[in-house]
Amino acid sequence: MIFIVMGVSGAGKTRVGELLAERLSCSFTDGDAYHSAANKEKMAHGIPLTDDDRWPWLAAIRAAIEAKVRAGETAVFGCSSLKRVYRDVLRGGAPADADVCFVYLKGSFEVLHERLGSRTGHFFDPSLLRSQLDTLEEPGEDEAMTVSIEHTPEAIVDEVVARIARERLR
């Protein structure tokens, strides 16, 4: 099974993804590692990415997902996955209930803005938050497990693991 922790910048994808991977005894991969230098440069200068910027990035993440699936491994990825079509690429065109499960970290502009303001050492320009929120197509229940970022990362992971266990019992 592949889990993709998704949401806009500042939602906690990396921290929650790392903790979830630890709980599931599997690897975590930050999707930001697959961004081109040009994409990182654009974001560092407050220039929003276009779909054309994102397609190669999403294809690279999908290739990494396919490698994990072929190896029979469970893995956690962090990726903003802002649009349904992006999530479709990451799922490889498979139905929403296939081997890729999205975990949507949902938060208010105010909380996200505050988090981005206190973050250091990241290439993302906080001024891009509004652009990401405008681009975001929130996933429905049929597409992702939604959890609030109002809780601690540990509590979020507890909720996700409990929901995974309930789904497996069905």
pLDDT per residue as tens digits for the range 57-82: 999 999 999 999 999 999 999 999 99
Looking up tokens 């290739």 gives 63
The average pLDDT across 151-168 equals 91
Taking the alpha carbons at both ends of the chain, their separation in whole angstroms is 16
How is residue 156 written in tokens?
């979020």
User: What Cα–Cα distance (Å) separates residue 48 from each residue in 8, 57, 120, 131, 148?
Assistant: 13, 14, 19, 7, 25
In this model, does residue 23 exceed pLDDT 90? Answer: yes
pLDDT of residue 148: 94
pLDDT per residue as tens digits for the range 104-142: 999 987 877 776 665 555 445 556 777 888 889 999 988
C-alpha to C-alpha distance for 44 and 161, rounded to whole angstroms: 34
In this model, does residue 5 exceed pLDDT 70? Answer: yes
Sheet strand arrangement including 27-30: 27-30, 75-78, 2-6, 100-106, 144-148
pLDDT of residue 88: 93
- Across 37-41, 85-89, 110-114, the highest mean pLDDT is recorded for 85-89
Report the chain's mean pLDDT, rounded to a whole number. Answer: 87
Beta-strand ranges (E) seen in the chain are: 2-6, 27-30, 75-78, 100-106, 144-148
C-alpha to C-alpha distance for 111 and 11, rounded to whole angstroms: 9
C-alpha to C-alpha distance for 44 and 24, rounded to whole angstroms: 33
pLDDT of residue 120: 53
**CATH architecture of the domain formed by 11-169:** 3-Layer(aba) Sandwich (3.40)
The average pLDDT across 3-9 equals 93
Contact 28, 18 (CB under 8 A): yes
